[in-house]
Amino acid sequence: MDKSELIFPAIDQIPEKYRIKFPIKQREYLLNGNIENWYGEFRDVFSPVYIENSGKSDNYIGSYPMMGSKEALEALDAAENAYSHGKGEWPSMTVEERIGSIRKFVLLMKEQRETVVNLLMWEIGKSLADSQKEFDRTVDYINDTIEALKNLDRESSRFTISDGIIAQIRRAPLGVVLCMGPYNYPLNETFATLIPALIMGNTVIFKPPKLGVLLHYPLLKAFKEAFPKGVVNTVYGRGANVISPIMESGRINVLAFIGSSKVADSLKQLHPKPHRLKSVLGLEAKNPAIILKDADIDETVKECITGALSYNGQRCTALKLIYVHENIAAEFVSKLSSEVEKLKKGMPWDENVKITPLPEPGKSEYLTELINDAVNNGATLVNPNGGKYNKSFFFPAILNNVNDKMKVYHEEQFGPVIPVITYKDIQEPLDYVTNSDYGQQASIFGNDPDYIATLIDTLVNQVCRVNVNSQCQRGPDNFPFTGRKDSAEATLSIYDALRVFSIRTLVAAKENEGNKKIIHDILKDDKSNFLSTDFIL
Ligand code: G3H
């Protein structure tokens, strides 16, 4: 393959249904139940997909508002007023009423599927199949969250009696939640915190990630129509201008952030009373694959390619370092290389495409720097086309004989570079896991149950998910997703998220005739939303 094979299309080579009328100049933002128009500064949006036109190429696709601290604090006021110390319309609604609003939102959201999927492809270069999956997975997540809340509500509709005290224990909202998702799952991972936060009765400010902004714009109307005013507010702009003043105000109760630990730490430190802030963080990771000498090589190669290169390796759960036993290293690396070379490269809408352009500016140059640094320190670039690139279009590179002197050993590459290390003694990969700053997941490939069992028992206290003969991943969404060390704070899953965005609150009374009568009267006439034995079927 020649570098010139990494080519971008001319406009007439793009199937009609994936052509969007660019540029999209987004002026609108959602504030206090109104879709407002912005007349200030804008930020340009550039696609990872360039369009070739008579020897020139272009990737400008639109712009979005660059709001300032004034507008950010207006969003905060709106969210705080809507919460109103827990007495606002939204936090005091019944669970059934809140579920009704979320259902309305899902219906309106589904109408925007095609537009959002198209924008996912154009803004972050995700393939059509993966963009559709991201949208559908999000819809499923919302529906499953509704079912999980119904279960939770059924469980909490009972009274508990202990030591002569009668109590009803439920979960209550926490206040104003700031939601910030990552660019690789701009829709799904923003909604994975936003929806549970909302359904539990909190109000929300959300800021889309730096890349993957415009795709939220078709959903503003759905938010406006489905929720009472001020319950959902959007802010756009530089973190320092919009997020810092919000955090410095001390009026945020939960920070839901998926991104780097450096940014998470700096945001948390801005809060004047950090003990009041609950944080839900999904951070960086460098999950290793540990390939044992008896692993099935063909199956392992397949799983490592999916693990390392799905969405071009831009997943926090991606396999970012491969340890292979010396007995099978040569065969594994050679098969890995020939399979990687066969991966179909192309534009996001191309059928069965696996390798697509990368959205982060300067990413190809960064990956090239990692490769050069590794090669200068003794690594071998294995596959013939590895590391070739044209602008944002980068062909995956396999690096063999990687060691701890190389940047790629330490840094989270978050892209299509696969570092491989041959080991003799199993202690080498285990030491890597122990000494790593990250603690999300690991994958073991092998066939001996006794040996695998000892590795499982060592690894489960270092990471939060050990995958056997399977790539690392977050899903299914009802499994707990979390990490140790610099990889996460709190746990997300359909079940856990409802708990993360709420606090257990109870009403308790000494079990005597007078109190029983009071409780009975409240229940009989449905006088309270909280103290109630009603439940949703
Ligand atoms: O980027 C991190 C994501 O949470 C990974 O999710 O394993 O479903 O691709 P995934």
Per-residue pLDDT tens for 167-210? 999 999 999 999 999 999 999 999 999 999 999 999 999 999 99
- Residue 33's Cβ-count burial label (10 Å; 0-12, 13-18, 19+) is middle
In the beta sheet, which residues pair with residue 56? Answer: 53
The CA-based angle 406-411-414, given to 5 degrees, is 125
User: Residue 283 — very low, low, confident or very high, per pLDDT cuts 50/70/90?
Assistant: very high
Give the count of alpha carbons within 13 A of 231, CB side only: 30
Residue to mutate (ligand 1; options 130, 184, 440; most atoms within 8 A of CB)? 184
Q: How far is the CA of 38 from the centre of ligand 1 (A)?
A: 33
315 lines ligand 1 (CB under 6 A): yes
Q: How far is the CA of 271 from the centre of ligand 1 (A)?
A: 28
pLDDT digits (tens, 9 = 90+) for 294-343: 999 999 999 999 999 999 999 999 999 999 999 999 999 999 999 999 99
pLDDT on residue 1: 66
Nearest CA to ligand 1 atom 2: 316
Residue to mutate (ligand 1; options 314, 316, 493; most atoms within 8 A of CB)? 316
Name the pTM for this structure: 0.97
48 pLDDT exceeds 80?
yes
Average pLDDT, the chain: 97
471 lines ligand 1 (CB under 6 A): no
- Return the H-helix or E-strand segment holding 521: helix 513-524
Distance CA 494, CA 355 (A): 30
317 lines ligand 1 (CB under 6 A): yes
Q: CA of 468: how far to CAs of 123, 179, 296, 439, 473, in Å?
A: 34, 33, 12, 17, 12
473 lines ligand 1 (CB under 6 A): yes
Closest CA relative to residue 278, chosen from 188, 184, 197: 197
pLDDT digits (tens, 9 = 90+) for 377-428: 999 999 999 999 999 999 999 999 999 999 999 999 999 999 999 999 999 9
Atom index in ligand 1 nearest the CA of residue 182 equals: 1
